[in-house]
Amino acid sequence: MNPKLLDILVCPDTGEPLGLEVQEYDAQWDQVRKGRLVSPLGKVYPIRNSIPRFVDTDEYTGSFSMQWHLHKTTQYATESNPFSRLQFLEVSGWRPEDLRGKRILDAGCGSGRFTDILRQCGAEVVGVDLSFAVDAAMQVIGDRENVNLVQASIFSLPFRPGCFDYIWSYGVLMATPDTRAAFHCVADKVRPGGEMAIWIYSNYSKWASFCSDQLRCITVHLPKRILYALCWLSVPLYFVYKIPVIGYALRNTFVISMRNRWRWRILETFDWYSPAYQWKHRYPEVSEWFRQEELELVHVSKIPIGMVGRKS
């Protein structure tokens, strides 16, 4: 943790500033490797592995803790596979040059693929996640000078209201117990004039959603290692699903990821069937959320459901 993060950190229970007690400091990277954050009322939050921890467990996100340690860099953008970067640009509508020097929250950062894209744009990025995926992100990008990682609940974020210029949240809010409530908690952290971009699952593929929801009634209760092993079936099924007519019917009945890279298929299929929560929404509903949070819509992505709002 860079000590400068104290400027925006607060006790999630009281909203009061936190004091820092350093136990291990890395001068080369200007990082507090181990220490404590202490509230005026004596509440203590440990710093372990350079990450401030505002939760004791990963609660309902155990599947994400597992998948992002198994696939730390699978979805990271590279020259040969720029998909994540292109997805970011399409969903957000942001120009990289406009992000330079801005403070950005990656709400639900996972193993840090979008945190990495944002920091390459020159932004000061804070990645937050409830799961232990933050430790995977720390291994990959934790020593970058413009990155800080925090483990906390999206419903109890330890940041001052209105302290971020931009907020990015991709594929996260709908994997919480309440998408709307999660949206509200995140929107509180964007400053007036700042922007918030989200992407969540849509409810427009009725048959595919129905079929996968029936399967999820079983898969969410399977041991995660067994479910992960079953997701390897997506590797050969991909080629079966490419068969005209029959393949189309099958892929809308037994849903798997159709990415052309086999590691992505395994990861995304597991990501679909393993989370405890998976809500799906429609544009009018989500547009109303933006209106209620005084976020004027400035961009709607071609990829459902991606939307960006500017705080009034």
Nearest to 194, CA basis, from 166, 163, 162: 166
Same domain, 183 and 218: no
Question: Which among 53, 5, 6, 1 has a CA at the least distance from the CA of 32?
Answer: 1
Side by side, which strands form the sheet with 306-311? Answer: 147-151, 124-129, 103-107, 164-170, 190-199, 306-311, 295-300
- Asked, for residue 99, whether it belongs to a domain, the answer is yes
Same domain, 184 and 217: no
Mean pLDDT taken over the chain: 97
Number of domains in the chain: 2
Same domain (yes/no): 224, 244: yes
106 and 88 inside one domain: yes
Give the domain CATH number at 87. Answer: 3.40.50.150
Same domain, residue pair 210 and 192: no
Distance CA 150, CA 112 (A): 12
What pLDDT is recorded for position 224?
Answer: 98
At residue 29, the pLDDT reads: 85
- SS3 state of residue 38: strand
pLDDT at 74 over 90: yes
* Residue 103 covered by a domain: yes
Domain assignment present for 211: yes
Identify the bridge partners of residue 21 per DSSP, sorted by sequence position.
36
- Specify whether 128 is located in the same domain as 210: no
**E strand or H helix that includes residue 184:** helix 179-187
The average pLDDT across 194-207 equals: 95
Instruction: Please indicate, yes or no, if residue 22 is contained in any of the structural domains.
Output: no
Within this chain, do residues 150 and 229 fall inside the same structural domain, yes or no? Answer: no
Label the pairing between strands 306-311 and 295-300.
antiparallel
Residue 235 belongs to what domain range?
206-273
Whether residues 227 and 260 fall in one domain: yes
| Residue 235 to residue 255: CA distance in whole angstroms | 13
Radius of gyration of the chain (CA): 20
pLDDT band at residue 304 using 50, 70 and 90 as cut-offs: very high
Residue 89: pLDDT band with limits 50, 70, 90:
very high
Alpha-helix residue ranges (DSSP H) falling in 220-273: 224-230, 234-241, 246-251, 262-273
pLDDT reported for residue 252: 87
Q: How far apart are CA 76 and CA 19, in angstroms?
A: 35
Per-residue pLDDT of 210-240, as tens digits, reads 999 999 999 999 999 999 999 999 999 999 9
DSSP letter, residue 245:
T
Confidence check: pLDDT of 77 > 90: yes
Q: How far apart are CA 91 and CA 50, in angstroms?
A: 31
Give the pairing of strands 44-48 and 31-38: antiparallel
Read off the DSSP letter of residue 95: -
